[in-house]
Each structure stands twice: as structure tokens, then as C-alpha cells.
Amino acid sequence: MINYVPLNQDLLPEVHVLYNQCLELDPLPLEWLREKTLGDPDFNPATSLVALWEGTPVGFVMSVIRSGSEAPVAGIKVFFVKPEFRNQGIASAMLTTVEENARRQGAKTMTVGFTRPDYVTPGVDPSYTRAAAFLLRRGYNRRGEVFNMDVPLAGSDWSTSQMEAHLARQGVTCKRLEATDVERLLAFFKREATPAAWQYQVRMAYEHTPPGVFVAVQNDSVIAFSCYDGVRPGWFGPMAAAQKARGSGLGSLVFLKALQAMQEQGYQICHINCVGPLYFYSKVAGAKVSRVFWQFDKALDAAA
């Protein structure tokens, strides 16, 4: 008999082992899975369910309810079932529970994957074909896709000395974010209307040692930033330059400084998360598309 219980600290190590077995394309260290689950600001034990068979985890689902401008925003952050326990109704039972909770909370739609600001992947990789097919059978609609790009780091030279010298003549310096720069970066966010989800991810990147955030500063103002390890270990992004400074090479500089740092920390690959400017990353660093993620959603009718 399958029992469904809330995720807790004691179960997390076993769930972590199962997670890495089931989601082999998206492995996470235990501490990162803890941050993505128990550490999520909207973690709810009632909708972070572990399926147990004879006391052993065989499935897991986590959903969150985020605050929205008009209605709560519901999302399934991650779900999986151990292969030999599939086709027994476990995933259906877990999704029914989280969908019903979302309805009660007033959410109109349930998304899958892209639970900004804190998510594991920005959608469902169709390489997890049975998961994608399962969602379609459950009434979820594929509404689009996003992609990641990869940059191999081993043996590459991401020298920025000439670029930095050129920008220095304009009074621009580029460095890791320090405590004295935080207020300047917050002012940049306000001035450039930076999405709240990006701000959260930058804050998470800043909390690492060393901080995974670089800023370009001119006249005591931040005019560009980049970050890595804000979403997942080895994942780059977000990045932005001030509107008035675009086209000046600042984006290239803060991006390449992050690649240098990732290389120094021993990363073999930089995974550029949820890419916008494909041409930019291809031109500057030879990045290639590596992952595609389908984005799903489902309207939650008033009736269960």
C-alpha cells in the first residue's frame, strides 16, 4: 500500500537519492535539493508529498503557490516516480492532491516546471518522454518552449584584459559584487525595472562563497550585472546591462568575467539558463543549444 506523507528533513536524503535516479539529466547535490524544497520561500508540507511503499520513497511531487498580481500562481516544481512503480496511479494521485489544493487557494492555472523565482528547470525536458506524455493525458497544454545553451570551459581562454582596458578609459570597472555595491545594484534593479524573479536569483548567487555575481560600475552606479549559481550549480543567468549602455560591450564583459570565475571554480561546462539572445551567446562564447524545455499549463476549473 502506498502512503503519502509530507517531505521533511528526515526523508530528504532518501528523496535525494531517488531524485537523482529518476531525473538523471538534472542531478543536484543534497544541499541544493534542500534549497529547492524545504528552503523554498513558499514551501508547503501539504503539497510536497513523498509516496512511500513499506516506508521507502518511491515518488515525489512538490507544488508551490506564489503571490500574483491578480490571483495566486500555482506551479508544480518537480515530480517523479521510481520506474518500477509507474503505471500504478501514484503520479495521478499526487497531481490530483496538488491541483485540488491550488483550486482551494484561488489559483486559476497550474504550470509545470517554471515556478519562478525558484525552480529546478524552466519546463519539462521532452527527453523525459513519459513525463511529458503523462501531463498531456492529464489535460495539460504545451504552450511553448525555452532552451538552454552550453559553453565548454575546459581549456578555453576568456581573456577580458583588452576589453577592460578599453572600458576603464570610460571610467568603468568590473568586479565581483561586494557588500559596498549592494545598494548600487538595488538602485540598478529599480532604475531598469528588473524582474523580481531575477532579483531573487541574484540574491541567491550572492550568498555563495565566492559570490556568483559580477557588476560593471561607472560613476558609482551599477550599469550591468551577471550571475551564476543563482538557479542551479553551473547554470549562468540572469544578466542585464542598463538600457543606455547596451551595445557598448558591457554585456560581453560581465558574461566573460562569469565564465572566467566558473572555470576557476572547476566547472567544465557553463549552462546558460533559459536563453533569450541566442546570437549573443553564440557569437561571444561559441555557445550551442543543449537542452529544450516544454512549458505546460492547465486551467483549474472551479469544479474538481
pLDDT tens-digit series, residues 48-90: 999 999 999 999 999 999 987 678 999 999 999 999 999 999 9
What is the spatial distance between Cα 212 and Cα 248, in angstroms, rounded to a whole number?
A: 23
The stretch 97-117 carries a mean pLDDT of: 95
- Helix/strand/coil for 190: helix
How far lies 131's CA from each of 87, 93, 237, 288, in Å? Answer: 12, 15, 26, 25
How far lies 99's CA from each of 45, 64, 133, 303, in Å? Answer: 15, 11, 18, 11
Site of grid cell 578609459: 169
CA torsion sign, 249 to 250 to 251 to 254?
positive
Judge whether residue 302 has pLDDT over 60. Answer: no
| Segments of the chain assigned to CATH 3.40.630.30 | 2-144, 154-267
Lowest mean pLDDT among 99-113, 189-203, 290-304: 290-304
- Could you count the other beta carbons within 10 Å of the beta carbon of residue 302? 6
- CATH superfamily placement of domain 154-267: Gcn5-related N-acetyltransferase (GNAT) (3.40.630.30)
Judge whether residue 198 has pLDDT over 80. Answer: yes
The stretch 221-225 carries a mean pLDDT of: 96
pLDDT of residue 157: 83
- Residue 256: name the closest of 226, 231, 282 by CA: 226
The stretch 240-249 carries a mean pLDDT of: 83
Judge whether residue 42 has pLDDT over 60. Answer: yes
The pairing of beta strand 48-53 with beta strand 288-299 = unpaired
pLDDT of residue 304: 46
The stretch 41-46 carries a mean pLDDT of: 95
3-state per-residue secondary structure call for 42-80: CCCHHHEEEEEECCEEEEEEEEEEECCCCCCEEEEEEEE
The stretch 229-249 carries a mean pLDDT of: 90
pLDDT of residue 244: 83
Lowest mean pLDDT among 129-138, 159-168, 243-252, 273-282: 243-252
Residues 6+ apart with CB under 8 A from 24: none
The band of 273, judged by pLDDT with boundaries at 50, 70 and 90, is very high
Average pLDDT over the chain, rounded to an integer: 94
Judge whether residue 246 has pLDDT over 80. Answer: no
The band of 247, judged by pLDDT with boundaries at 50, 70 and 90, is confident
- Decide yes or no: CATH 1.10.1740.10 for domain 2-144: no
The band of 249, judged by pLDDT with boundaries at 50, 70 and 90, is confident
CA torsion sign, 99 to 105 to 109 to 110?
negative
The stretch 256-282 carries a mean pLDDT of: 95
How far lies 194's CA from each of 157, 171, 185, 190, 210, in Å? Answer: 31, 24, 11, 7, 23
Percent of the chain with pLDDT over 70: 99
Chain centroid to Cα 46, Å, comes to 23
